[in-house]
Amino acid sequence: MFKARLLPLAICLAAAPAFALEQGEHRFNTFGTVGITHLGGEDDGRSYGITGQTTDSWRGDQLSKFGAQIQYGLTDTVGITAQVTAKPAQDDWQANIEWLYLSWQTTDNLMLRVGRLRTPVYMYSESIDVGFSYPWLRLPDEVYSQVQLSNYEGVDAVYNMPLSFGSLAFQVAGGQAKNRDIFAFDEMHDIDYEKVFGANISLATNDFGTLRVGYVEADISTEIEDIVRLPAALGGTLINQRFQTIDKQKGKFTSVGYQYDNGTWLTSNEWTSRSIEADNSGTIDAFYLMGGRRFGEFLTHVTYAQLDDDAGRQNSWTLGLNYNLMPNMVLKSEYKRVDTSGGYDGVFVRTPQEAFDNAINAAGVGPVPAGVAGSPARNFDGDIISVGVDFVF
């Protein structure tokens, strides 16, 4: 099967190499996605997604992205790796240096790296831009919207231990990520991550799939504010509203993932838990369960995903059909039905004014009691259709 045969190339693009290249040896690869997506079932102008690019118009900037990676052996044990991408950030395309690091193969099993590295948050963190390496066209939003940080500046150590029935890999990482962006209330805001620390362990077996357990923490600083209008009962004037202030508060993220693929049947599952100290938001838990089967060059798969916050719940069902066009190119199509409950927006996007009106209605302000001004929080639902092509060269 084309997909199964090319998967090692996709993984090579996305993960730390097991061994350094020889001196003067180099590898150059490109990868990307060309796709369109559409949100139906919600009111006009509503948007959805990590950066709000899925709307009631057919758009390609939610899914499309392009990248290139080069590795070069400076010596037989020291090498340099660079990975660049071009992808949308809200409504603008941006070029990004995702990876730029030096690696040192100290022994056959241990590699040390320093520079800009992928943040080891999710099971698919290191391959998040290489769509060819996973079955979906869009990764499950309920899980992959939780942490928007994709890389950091620092160091890590990767240790691989061969076993009679597979291999065991350990990774420890540390550093910082300053002047990054976070999308909230339909706007981009500045955010800093200091004292980033991550560790994970992966057990890859020959016959029973791969189990991964990971943990990441960081001191987070951000301030989310915007201009909103007060209720008419309070004058209707414009004010600068601060929605959230986080000053070097510890954020913690735990994940457990499992994937299995025998060439015919496959499954991928991940559970995550996120908390930020002293922000009064509690713990946010999310998971997805995916199962699929190949029929020749076709792959059918179904995914259930759920996101639980103190404010409510989002859940979704995704049905997908993939077709291998070429050994290095796969056509993917998906239908996703998503609903929220408890007056929760989930991954749907509220404007700053909507968020303010909801808060005023729930808590009141000044002489205006709760339920009199603003508007009550509502539930959201929608049907998302996505079609695209993933490729690696």
Maximum Cα–Cα distance across the chain: 73
Q: Report whether 120 contacts 14 (CB < 8 A).
A: no
d(CA 79, CA 210): 28
Q: What is the mean pLDDT of residues 325-346?
A: 94
Task: Give the CA distances from residue 118 to residues 178, 179, 187, 263, 377, in Å, rounded to whole numbers and listed in that order.
Answer: 14, 16, 24, 28, 36
Q: What is the CATH number of the domain that holds 296?
A: 2.40.160.10
Q: 157-182 burial by CB neighbour count: b if 16+ within 10 A, else e?
A: bbbbeeeeebbebebebebebeebbb
pLDDT score recorded for residue 49: 86
Domain enclosing residue 201, as ranges: 2-392
Residue 1 pLDDT class (50, 70, 90 cuts): very low
Cα-trace Rg, the chain: 22
pLDDT score recorded for residue 14: 52
User: Higher model confidence: residue 186 or residue 381?
Assistant: 381
Listed ranges 324-328, 359-363, 367-371; the one with the highest mean pLDDT: 324-328
DSSP H/E element including 151: strand 151-163
d(CA 332, CA 334): 7
Counting the structural domains of the chain, the total is 1
> The tokens of 138 are what?
């869009």
Beta partners for residue 381, in sequence order: 339
> The tokens of 64 are what?
């499309």
Instruction: Give the residue among 76, 99, 104 at the shortest CA–CA distance from 154.
Output: 99
d(CA 304, CA 317): 5
Contacts of 293 (CB under 8 A, 6+ apart): 264, 265, 266, 299, 300, 301
118: how many CB neighbours lie within 10 A of its CB? 24
In a 3-state reduction of DSSP, which class is residue 255?
strand
d(CA 67, CA 167): 29
Q: What is the mean pLDDT of residues 6-31?
A: 68
Q: Is the overall model pTM greater than 0.85, yes or no?
A: yes
Nearest 5 degrees, angle CA 184-CA 194-CA 311?
A: 35
User: Higher model confidence: residue 51 or residue 264?
Assistant: 264
> The tokens of 240 are what?
């600068």
pLDDT score recorded for residue 109: 93
- Whether 153 shows a pLDDT value over 50: the answer reads yes
Q: What is the mean pLDDT of residues 216-225?
A: 91
Residue recorded with tokens 């993960």: 15
pLDDT score recorded for residue 88: 83
Q: What is the mean pLDDT of residues 30-38?
A: 94
Residue recorded with tokens 């291998």: 324
Residue 302 pLDDT class (50, 70, 90 cuts): very high
Q: Report whether 290 contacts 303 (CB < 8 A).
A: yes
First to last CA, the chain: 17
User: Higher model confidence: residue 51 or residue 117?
Assistant: 117
> The tokens of 213 are what?
């357990």
Instruction: Give the residue among 118, 120, 121, 346 at the shortest CA–CA distance from 253.
Output: 121
pLDDT per residue over 233-264, tens digit each?
777 788 888 888 888 899 999 999 999 999 99
